[in-house]
Amino acid sequence: MRFASLGSGSEGNALLVETDDGASTSRVLVDCGFGLREAERRLRALGCEPTALSAIVVTHEHGDHVGGVFRLAAAHGIPVHLTHGTLQGCGRIGRAEPLVRIVDPLESFEVGAFRIEPVPVPHDAREPVQYVFDDGRARLGVLTDLGHGTPHVVRALSRLDALVLECNHDPQMLADNPAYPPVLKRRIGGPWGHLANAEAARILGAIDRDRLRTVVAAHLSQQNNRPELARRALAAVLDAALDDIRVADQAEGLDWHPV
């Protein structure tokens, strides 16, 4: 298994996960917050034609995650998996409607060689989930867009080989940001908002890390965080060097990385 980020941040998110079982290659896109042409460009930059996608799985209905999903799906005939609440939150889906597959947030499902486990999370959306990918040899967890780590989240993320983990903001930078009104600061920093660096580190410290080899910091706020702060918080838990923590950024994403 391997994964790559097309881009991660408030302007658009998408993560590509791929595995090969010897007979065929399965490729799943987690979210797509980019317009059709930009999503196609970023996929091709990673060597993936949009028609080669096995599925798109959606975490929740916010525009930076779902904004390009249905246009990309309709243009290339790609099935879209999402919870009923997320579908309701998306409103009109147009020509992609026949491609929609409803996900039970408490039951795993299969796409090609992947077994995909939804993980319900506390976030200000209708029925948000994150995902764990299992191809029988390795496990990848994707955890962004939640306000805090619940006991269920910690259990679901145990026994991973790789983790993409939100480090959205530094609380002091958020508090001092004059461009953000108080209501937005409360939303981001609240229990249904986004993970602060310290809370991301707490989750990382709580999970079973016996198999964990790779940690990627994701969904960093360009205004309320800095990569070195996220790296420092996670590296302290792992007793690792700062350079051992990769960062998926908004402009360049993250190139292919093995699990």
The reported pLDDT for the residue numbered 163 is 98
Summarize pLDDT for 129-151 with one digit per residue, the tens. Answer: 999 999 999 999 999 999 999 99
Q: Has residue 210 got a pLDDT over 90?
A: yes
Tell which residue, 169, 39, 56, 45, has the closest CA to residue 114: 56
Q: What is the pLDDT of residues 5-19, one digit of tens each?
A: 999 999 999 999 999
- pTM value is 0.97
Percent pLDDT > 70 in the chain is 100
Residue 188, both tokens = 């981001």
CATH of domain 2-253: 3.60.15.10
Across residues 209-232, what is the average pLDDT? 98
Average pLDDT estimate for 68-85: 98
Backbone angles phi, psi at 213, to 5 degrees: -115, -25
Q: Hey, CA dihedral for 192, 31, 71, 4, is it positive or negative?
A: positive
Question: Cα 139 to chain center, whole Å?
Answer: 14
Write out pLDDT tens, residues 81-132: 999 999 999 998 999 999 999 999 999 999 999 999 999 999 999 999 999 9
Mean pLDDT of 234-251: 97
The pLDDT of residue 218 is above 90: yes
pLDDT (tens digit, 9 = 90+) per residue, 21-37?
A: 989 999 999 999 999 99
Q: What are phi and psi of 237, to 5 degrees?
A: -70, -40
Handedness of CA 236, 239, 243, 248 (dihedral sign): negative
d(CA 183, CA 244): 35
pLDDT at residue 92, rounded to an integer: 87
Domain ranges of the chain: 2-253
Which 8-state DSSP code applies to residue 247?
E
- In the predicted model, what is the mean pLDDT of residues 170-180? 98
Q: Give the separation between CA 72 and CA 89, rounded to whole angstroms.
A: 18
Give residue 248's region: left, alpha or beta (phi > 0; psi -120 to 50). beta
**Helices (DSSP H) in the chain: which residue ranges?**
36-45, 63-66, 69-76, 84-90, 151-156, 171-176, 182-189, 197-206, 227-238
pLDDT of amino acid 224: 98
**Count of CB atoms situated within 10 Å of the CB of 24:** 10
Ordered strands of the 214-218 beta sheet: 109-111, 114-120, 129-134, 139-143, 162-166, 214-218, 246-247
The pLDDT of residue 53 is: 98
Average pLDDT in the chain: 98
